Amino acid sequence: MKAWLTAFVVIVTRENLRFVRQRGRFLSALVRPLVWLVVFAAGFRAALGVSIIPPYQTYITYDVYILPGLCGMIQLFNGMQSSLSLVYDQEMGSMRLLLTSPLPRWWLLFSKLASGVIVSILQVAAFLAIAALAGTTTPLVGYIAVVPALVLSGLMLGAFGLVISSTVRQLENFAGVMNFVIFPMFFLSSALYPLWKMAESSPLLRDICALNPFTHAVELIRFALYGKLDLTALLWVSACFVLFMLAALWGYEPARAMLRAKA
Question: What is the pLDDT, as a whole number, of residue 56?
Answer: 43
Per residue in 185-225, pLDDT tens? 888 888 887 887 777 778 888 888 899 999 999 999 999 99
Residue 151's pLDDT band (cuts 50, 70, 90): very high
Q: What average pLDDT does the segment 22-50 reach?
A: 63
pTM score, whole prediction = 0.83
DSSP string covering 151-187, please?
A: HHHHHHHHHHHHHHHTT--SGGGHHHHHHHHHHHHHH
DSSP three-state, residue 49: strand
Question: What is the pLDDT, as a whole number, of residue 214?
Answer: 95
Determine how many CB atoms are found less than 10 A away from the CB of residue 85: 21
Per residue in 52-101, pLDDT tens? 433 344 456 666 778 888 899 889 988 887 777 776 666 665 556 566 66
The yes-or-no verdict on residue 239 having pLDDT over 50 is yes
CA separation for the pair 237, 157 (Å, rounded): 9
The yes-or-no verdict on residue 42 having pLDDT over 80 is no
The yes-or-no verdict on residue 134 having pLDDT over 90 is no
Q: What average pLDDT does the segment 246-263 reach?
A: 67
Identify any residues that bridge with 60 across adjacent strands, giving them in sequence order. Answer: 48
The type of residue at 51 is: S
DSSP string covering 178-223, please?
A: HHHHHHHHHHSSSSSS-HHHHHHH-HHHHHHHHH-HHHHHHHHHHH
